[in-house]
Amino acid sequence: MGKNKLRRFQENRCLSNVIQPTRQEVLSGFQLKGRWRDKFFGNTRPIILELGCGKGEYVVGMGKVFPEKNFIGLDIKGARLWFGAKEAVGESLGNVAFLRTHIELLDLLFDENEVDEIWITFPDPQIKHKRMKHRLTCPYFLEKYRKILRPRGVIHLKTDSEFLYGYTLGLLQGLGHEIITAHHDIYGAREYEPSTPYLREIKTYYELLFFAGGKPITYVKFRLG
């Protein structure tokens, strides 16, 4: 392991906006489950969760735009989320936190109706059929999202993968979920005005790479039926 990674791991332990529970701590009863607002953020504001946040560009960007909301970026890669955590501290963003853990533990980390909104930004599309259960929009994960989302809470998928975009749309339609907005190229269509005003203004590291390479960026906003 490189020295930079080790340094970031060490710094994460000292950052007040980084939570790193062990798997055993999560399985035995995570202390912040149901208590994120009052025990961590100290307010009653909405909670927006980003899954697979990477370096945290999106969750930090949203935290700056919407100081009246709480944002949590979740990722297992501690050396990556360190970048976002450091920026949030440097910008004094008390409404931005990072949770280092596995996404499949989601319903053990948050209580019913605790999350207002979920963002899934540029996940691995898991194209091989045998990896289908690892797609973040497969039925297994959708049910986990349902457990923690408030009634009428929304989910956003932003991806460069036309495969994942098509898979998700077909699945949502087949299961009777509500597709609020869907577009196959949010930057290429001039007539398209996204219902989410910061959809094109905030870009992740990978999004910048895909955009520079001419790949269309797709977007789906939906609600579980």
Q: Return the active site residues.
A: 124
Rounded CA-CA distance 45/2 in Å is 39
Rounded CA-CA distance 92/48 in Å is 18
Sign for the CA dihedral angle at 209, 54, 164, 132 comes to positive
DSSP per-residue letters across 49-110: EEES-TT-HHHHHHHHH-TTSEEEEEES-HHHHHHHHHHHHHTT-TTEEEEES-GGGHHHHS
CA distances from 178 to 8, 111, 223 (A): 41, 23, 5
Which letter, b or e, does each residue of 79-109 get, where b requires 16 or more Cβ atoms within 10 Å of its Cβ?
bbbbbbbbbbbeeebbbbbbbbbebebbebb
Rounded CA-CA distance 208/203 in Å is 6
Residue 121 pairs in a beta bridge with: 158
Helix (H, G, I), strand (E, B) or coil at 163: helix
